[in-house]
Amino acid sequence: MSTAIQVQSVTKIYAGRTVLDGVCLDVHDGETLVILGGSGSGKSTLLRLMIGNVPYEGGEIHIGHANKSIGKMTAPELEQYRKSLGVLFQSGALYNSMSVFDNVALPLREHTDLPEETIEIMVKIKLELVGLREHSEKMPAELSGGMKKRAGLARAIALDPKILFYDEPSAGLDPVTSAEIDQLIIDLNRKLGVTSVVVTHEMDSAFRIADRMVLLDRGKFVVSGTSDEMRESTDPLVRQFVHGLTEGPLTDRRRAGGYEVDLLGGI
């Protein structure tokens, strides 16, 4: 299987704090890779690095068979790369001053010479795929959380991307809507044959959609495996995270954080 994205020993430092520490990762063509990790583990930062929205200090991120790393791309090369991918942000990130239709039409109007009639047809097709065709004239403020995400997804696939990135697609949604979004991710993956990279910490959702999972902890790569391998892992950290256990290395670390000393001082 060929590699869509290759992350090699990437390091990212924010205000003196190492957020990603030598992370290595391969995303294969056509697969749905789920990046797991607790809050502050660096998973969303890794996603932003792969999109090319955030610069990084060390390592390389190669796309497909390109010899050039994202960090070394020129502005036109980066622009070309970004046109080949779609991103669904955590909040949907719809442009609030535009209707749902205009949100989805924006990349087509910006990056193609298509006439307005063709754009209209294409937008309707994308909205139908996510089940929002009847809501095309609504403004983002009039949509529910799940609808916003679906509209964001329609916009992300407007240019028929080769790679789709999802940042916490199920966060803040009820279980049914969350399952609907997951099904949409699976359908798009099958229908469009795209490579998907999903960042999440919701295990139900991860098990539903993942071909493969990786776990990040404190900016470091911990483990990679299929859903079954992760479920059956004997690694204490993986076990605690995947099964949501209250006892394990993650909670031990928090307890060892010197809370008592901080609270009671020298008493």
Partner 1 sequence: MTQPSSQPRQTPSAISRAIIAVGRRGIGFVEFIGGMGYLIRDTVSSAPRGLLARRGRRLGWRNLWAQMVRVGVRSIPIVCLVLFCIGAILSLQMAPILKNYGAVSQTANIISIATFRELGPLVSAIVLTGFAGASIAAEIGTMVVSEEIEALEAQSISPIRFLVLPRVTATSLMMVCVAVVGDLMGVGGGLFVASNFLDVSAEQYFRKTFEAILVRDFVTGLIKAGCFGTIISSLACYLGLSVTGGAQGVGVATTRTVVLTIVALITVDLMFTGVFYYFGW
Q: How many residues bind partner 1 (CB under 8 A)?
A: 25
Exposure string of 184-213, with b = 16+ CB inside 10 Å and e = fewer, is: bbeebbeeeebbbbbbbbbbebbbbbbebb
Question: What does residue 241 show for φ and ψ, rounded to 5 degrees?
Answer: -70, -50
Burial 154-167 (b: 16+ CB within 10 A, else e): bbbbbbebbbbbbb
Q: What are phi and psi of 179, to 5 degrees?
A: -65, -35
**115/244 with CB nearer partner 1:** 115
139 contributes a contact to partner 1 by CB under 8 A: no
Cβ at position 250, least distance to partner 1 in Å: 27
**Chain length of the chain:** 267
Closer residue to partner 1, CB minimum distance, 85 or 100:
85
Report 79-138 residues binding partner 1 (CB under 8 A): 79-80, 82-83, 85, 87, 89-91, 93-97, 106-107, 109-113
Residue 12-51 contact track with partner 1, rule CB under 8 A, x = bound = ------------------------------------x--x
- For 52, the token pair is 């090319």
Is the separation of the CB atoms in 130 and 94 below 8 Å?
Answer: no
3 binds partner 1 (CB under 8 A): no
Which CB atom, from 82 or from 150, has the smaller least distance to partner 1? 82
Question: Closer to partner 1 at the Cβ: 117 or 134?
Answer: 117
Find all residues with CB under 8 Å of 141, minimum gap 6, and list them: 96
Site residues (vs partner 1, CB under 8 A)? 48, 51, 53, 79-80, 82-83, 85, 87, 89-91, 93-97, 106-107, 109-113, 155
